């Protein structure tokens, strides 16, 4: 999830439409090849002189297990790899939309990849440490297909397959150790990737998972009425894509009169300020209550919400959860509950809360701490653990 503040922005209507994916994105999956197989690689210019960057297309799997093509980018430091190989950070991005054309990697072209590079918190830190960085677009945002918005299994597989694709990229020279890092939608994707990693990507060793404001209790966060336009935007993204992914008629949950507007909202992106203004304006045409049935008690929606909430399997490694305390999108109490759940499973969790920080800025604000935490995991240092503490920490930095 990602929203831009609109105050004073109504004249900034540049880049309001999603770019059309080029022929690179339209190539077919490699038939019969395993997930994580590279389909195509394309270098691009970017503003960090100490790394080489590639747009990639690779095999992954959708929710049903069908092979699909997924796009993304991979950054490789230009410095020689250390003796044991380079570590890897797999980045999972926040909400950019659900339509084809909303892929962050589409910003890797004519403007030198500046927008893309600045959208990956900690990219310069990781590259300076000698780490490879893989950043998936998720399926359906660059290559054709339905985007599995907040559908944990498919998103998690896309993230893991970006790491496997990096493993196969000449010049990456990976050590086999990797960390997961994601914000908002990407935080949820990182948590699911951690749960899946040992079985889905056994050639890689997961050292830790960092997540900024992840939607960790999908039932609670999404079954309540949407009181804001931004909430209705998210609701439209969810119900449009979930109805397609799970084969559930959208009218089981959305009032038939609102369906055309929901589809229009689902065609918008929020990668840029101009796009966000268009998306929010379109979503404002939805009534505050545009649902025909309560999502919390209308089958199969409650089961779908629960199955896409992380925590129903071991996390796969030590966790760092960072949460802004001024976050109306993923309210802090949801991740407090998630941390309590994981602690009850005797896992290792470092939970850091940032006073005055909102949803949009938490990943950037926490970047120094996240980069240091990931570096310590690569150095095999013991992970800090808040479980058992009478009160969670509040970060003062």
- Residue reference for tokens 């927008």: 115
**Average pLDDT over every residue of 317-330:** 95
Residue that has been written with the tokens 């270098």 in this structure: 43
pLDDT band at 17 (very low <50, low <70, confident <90, very high): low
154 and 239 in a common domain: no
Question: Is 365 found in the same domain as 274?
Answer: no
| Residue 396: predicted pLDDT | 40
Tell me whether residue 18 is in a domain: no
Q: Is residue 323 part of a domain?
A: yes
CA distance 343 to 200: 24
Half-sphere exposure of 97 (CA within 13 A, CB side): 31
Q: Is 7 contained in some domain?
A: no
Which residue range(s) make up the domain with 101? 23-217+312-394
Same domain for 290 and 344, yes or no, is no
Give yes or no: residues 210 and 226 share one domain.
Answer: no
pLDDT band at 97 (very low <50, low <70, confident <90, very high): very high
What average pLDDT score do residues 385-397 get? 61
Q: C-alpha distances in angstroms, 251 versus 41, 173, 298, 308, 356?
A: 41, 50, 11, 21, 39
pLDDT classification of 294: cutoffs 50, 70, 90? confident
Q: How far is CA 183 from the centre of its chain?
A: 6
Q: What is the pLDDT of residue 29?
A: 96
* Tally of domains in the chain: 2
CA dist 317 and 206 (Å) reads 7
Residue after which a domain boundary falls, among 254, 289, 305: 305
Domain assignment present for residue 14? The answer is no
Query: Residue 109 pLDDT more than 50?
Result: no
Instruction: Tell me phi and psi for residue 319, to 5 degrees.
Output: -110, 145
**pLDDT score recorded for residue 225:** 56
For residues 298 and 347, membership in a common domain is answered with: no
One domain, residues 201 and 248:
no
Q: Answer for the pair 99, 147: CB distance below 8 angstroms, yes or no.
A: yes
* Residue 36 domain-assigned (yes or no): yes
Domain C-terminal end among 255, 276, 305: 305
Q: What is the CATH number of the domain that holds 384?
A: 3.40.50.1820
Residue 175 makes CB contacts below 8 A (sequence gap 6+) with: 82, 84, 85, 86, 87, 88
Q: Give the C-alpha separation, 183 to 329, whole Å.
A: 12
pLDDT at 26: 96
Both 246 and 331 in one domain: the answer is: no
212 and 226 in one domain? Answer: no
In a domain, 213, yes or no: yes
Asked if 316 and 297 sit in the same domain, the reply is no
Asked whether residue 2 is assigned to any structural domain, the reply reads no
SS3 122: coil
Instruction: Tokens for 387, please give them.
Output: 């479980």
Q: What tens digit of pLDDT does each residue of 139-191 get?
A: 999 999 999 999 999 999 999 999 999 999 999 999 999 999 999 999 999 99
Tell me: do 174 and 265 sit in the same domain: no
Q: Which of 45, 44, 43, 39 is nearest to 26 (CA)?
A: 39
Residue that terminates a domain, selected from 305, 337, 364: 305
For helices 273-283 and 229-246, what crossing angle results, to 10°? 80
pLDDT band at 111 (very low <50, low <70, confident <90, very high): very low
- Are both 122 and 263 inside the same structural domain? no
Residues 239 and 272 in one domain: yes
In a domain, residue 16? The reply is: no
pLDDT digits (tens, 9 = 90+) for 211-250: 999 999 888 877 665 667 888 898 899 999 999 999 999 9
């Amino acid at each position: 999830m990602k929203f831009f503040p609109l105050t004073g922005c109504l004249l900034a209507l540049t880049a309001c439409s999603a770019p059309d994916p080029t022929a690179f994105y339209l190539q077919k999956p490699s038939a019969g090849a395993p997930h994580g197989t590279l389909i195509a690689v394309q270098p691009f210019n970017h503003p960090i002189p100490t790394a080489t960057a590639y747009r990639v297309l690779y095999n992954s799997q959708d929710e049903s297990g069908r092979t699909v093509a997924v796009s993304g980018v991979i950054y490789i430091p230009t410095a020689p790899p250390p003796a044991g190989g380079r570590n890897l950070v797999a980045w999972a991005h926040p909400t950019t939309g659900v339509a084809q054309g909303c892929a962050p990697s589409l910003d890797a072209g004519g403007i030198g990849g500046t927008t893309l590079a600045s959208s990956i918190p900690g990219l310069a830190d990781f590259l300076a440490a000698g780490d490879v960085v893989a950043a998936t677009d998720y399926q359906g945002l660059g290559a054709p297909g339905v985007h599995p918005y907040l559908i944990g299994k498919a998103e998690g597989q896309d993230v893991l397959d970006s790491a496997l694709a990096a493993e196969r990229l000449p010049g990456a020279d990976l050590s086999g150790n990797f960390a997961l890092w994601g914000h908002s939608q990407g935080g949820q994707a990182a948590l699911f990737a951690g749960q899946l990693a040992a079985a889905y990507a056994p050639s890689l060793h997961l050292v830790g998972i960092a997540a900024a404001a992840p939607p960790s209790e999908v039932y609670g966060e999404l079954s309540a009425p949407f009181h804001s336009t931004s909430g209705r935007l998210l609701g439209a993204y969810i119900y449009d894509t979930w109805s397609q992914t799970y084969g559930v008629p959208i009218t089981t949950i959305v009032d038939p009169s609102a369906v055309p507007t929901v589809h229009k909202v689902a065609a918008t992106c929020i990668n840029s300020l101009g796009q966000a203004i268009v998306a929010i304006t379109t979503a404002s045409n939805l009534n505050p209550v545009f649902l025909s049935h309560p999502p919390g008690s209308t089958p199969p929606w409650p089961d779908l919400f629960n199955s896409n909430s992380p925590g129903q399997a071991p996390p796969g490694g030590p966790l760092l959860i960072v949460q802004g305390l001024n976050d109306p999108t993923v309210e802090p109490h949801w991740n407090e509950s998630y941390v309590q759940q994981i602690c009850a499973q005797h896992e290792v969790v470092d939970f850091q809360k940032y006073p005055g920080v909102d949803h949009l800025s938490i990943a950037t604000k926490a970047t120094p701490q996240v980069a240091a935490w990931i570096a310590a995991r690569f150095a095999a240092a013991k992970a800090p653990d808040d479980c058992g503490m009478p009160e969670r920490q509040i970060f003062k930095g």
